[in-house]
Chain A
Amino acid sequence: MNLQADAIGEILVIRVCEPRIDAAVAVEFKDMFREMAVEVPPRVLLDLSQVDFVDSSGLGAIVAAMKHLAPDRLLELAGLTPIVEKVFSLTKMDSVFPIHADVASACGGAATDAS
């Protein structure tokens, strides 16, 4: 599991450099995210633009990451590819996460409505 963290202003951007977040790597993702998300700035953004595939286990791991930041922070998402967007919309999780078209728009302005 390759996650890379960058601070862009007041935003911690965690880029998932993997093609898949599935059952095989869901636990590893959760553990790595927890290690990276200590003393975080006000906003945390998960860049999923390199992720082609998420299954229900991967979705659960991203939800777990969101819960790790609660109640003080939300986990924002950017760069959802088609399958990832489908999984979030079918499960209505797109109503829970602030979703941005890409990292640039997340850092520059308001969330786009993905629904």
Chain B
Amino acid sequence: MRLKPLLRDVRRAIEQLTEGWRGGGASGPLLMRAELVAAEVLTNVVEHGFAGGHDGEIEVVSHASDKAVILLVRDNGGPMPGGAAPCGLAPEIPETTEELPEGGFGWYLIRSLTHRLDYCRRDGCNCLCVEIREEDGNDRPARRCAAGDVRAEPG
């Protein structure tokens, strides 16, 4: 599947992907978590990789079964900050409502819901591969940052 870096195209892509995954046997919490991960990944590509520009292309390949969903996303937008996928620390919940964060949840959700995540920059393109597994139904707490990881930008 190929799409332009537009949020309305992301929405349409997610609908097609989830339909295909359902056909492949994914259901229940696995399908729900995969839909959320796909939405966060593709939205990040549009909003950060292309930063609002509409000139570019996103290629999505995926495979689903009743046990797992694998999603590969390739795009010719800008590289991830620091050359690595953000580690997705959970935003802290402050004391007062006025200080609540309105962003910075995306990578935390991706990291919490995925079993495996690989990112590389190759030939001027970002290549991201994520795997969501049925067996992780209770969700893993987002892993700790490793050396070289970059904290997610709010937004």
A binds B: yes
A80 within 8 A of B: no
Query: Which of A33-41, A43-51, A87-95, A107-115 binds B?
Result: A87-95
What string of 1s and 0s marks CB contacts (under 8 Å) between A66-92 and chain B?
110011001000000011001100111
Beta-carbon contact of B112 and A23 below 8 Å: no
Residues of A within 8 A of B90 (CB): 91-92
Beta-carbon contact of B36 and A87 below 8 Å: yes
Alpha-carbon distance between A27 and B2 when the two chains are bound, in angstroms: 26
Query: Which of B59-67, B79-87, B100-108, B119-127 binds A?
Result: B100-108
Question: Binding site of B, secondary structure by majority: helix, strand, loop or mixed?
Answer: helix
Number of A-B contacts (CB under 8 A): 85
A102 within 8 A of B: no
Alpha-carbon distance between A59 and B90 when the two chains are bound, in angstroms: 14
B7 within 8 A of A: yes
Interface centre among A56, A57, A60, A70, by most chain B C-beta atoms within 10 angstroms, is: A56
Residues of B within 8 A of A70 (CB): 96-98
A100 within 8 A of B: no
Alpha-carbon distance between A66 and B93 when the two chains are bound, in angstroms: 14
Task: Name the contact of A57 in the complex, choosing from B43, B100, B101 (C-beta under 8 A).
Answer: B43
Interface residues of A (CB under 8 A from B): 20, 22-24, 53, 55-57, 59-61, 63-64, 66-67, 70-71, 74, 82-83, 86-87, 90-93, 95-96
